[in-house]
Amino acid sequence: MAKQAWLMKSEPDVFSLQDLKSRPRQTEPWDGVRNYQARNFMRDSMKLGDPVLFYHSNTNPPGVAGLAKVSSGPKPDLLAFDKKSKYFDPKSDPDNPRWLLVDVKYVAEFPNYVALNLLKEDPQLEGMLVAKRWQRLSIQPVDWDHLLRVLELGGLDEGLLKS
DNA sequence: GCCAACGTTGGC
DNA sequence: GCCAACGTTGGC
């Protein structure tokens, strides 16, 4: 059974790795996902403690800012029930929520930000989804050896994965 | 700000 | 249930 890692995208202007770090428990529900494939990863596949590469999109340059981890099981995305939220979804029934999420907890910021162009150029990262053109999915599975390589590029010791 | 890709919506 | 139109993502 291979260990699974993940990559989760966020626009740093909206919610950055530094924002996660400054939360009281350094934990935040990953709300606002309105894509079924991404939801299914959170609902069905993520395990407590799985490592998460925190990716900054829509910024210059885009890239992986650091490491986080899955810190809850699946639970309803409450924004779907909030009429004032841009993520409100009238089709999500509180008794049978359409949108589920997990909590994500800060682990560490990379000493070296790993920009997208580095991911694309690195031969060891060939096939990594985020490095492919037109890959828009905001939550992606990451192979374990790709995770280790990105940690190395970021300047983090893989011992952090054991915490 | 452009625009390719692609997921979603809704008319039929 | 097809598929055109529309909206969103996200790199550039």
Domain span holding position A61: 5-162
Token pair in block for residue A121: 């150029």
Footprint of strand B on the protein (CB under 7 A): A 35-37, 134, 136
Residues A136-143 have a mean pLDDT of 96
Tell me the mean pLDDT in the region A111-122: 97
pLDDT at A159: 93
CATH number assigned to the domain comprising residue A22: 3.10.590.10
Say how many domains are in chain A: 1
pLDDT at A162: 83
Q: Confidence class of residue A163 from pLDDT cuts 50, 70 and 90?
A: low
Nucleotide nearest to A58 (CA to C1'): C10
Name the nt closest to A137 by C-alpha to C1': C9
Q: What is the DSSP letter of A160?
A: G
Distance A136 CA to C8 C1' (A): 10
CA of A129 to C1' of C11 (A): 14
The predicted model gives A77-101 an average pLDDT of 92
State how far the Cα of A59 lies from the Cα of A46, in Å rounded to an integer.
27
> What's the pLDDT tens digit per position in A97-112?
999 999 999 999 999 9
Q: What is the pTM of this model?
A: 0.95
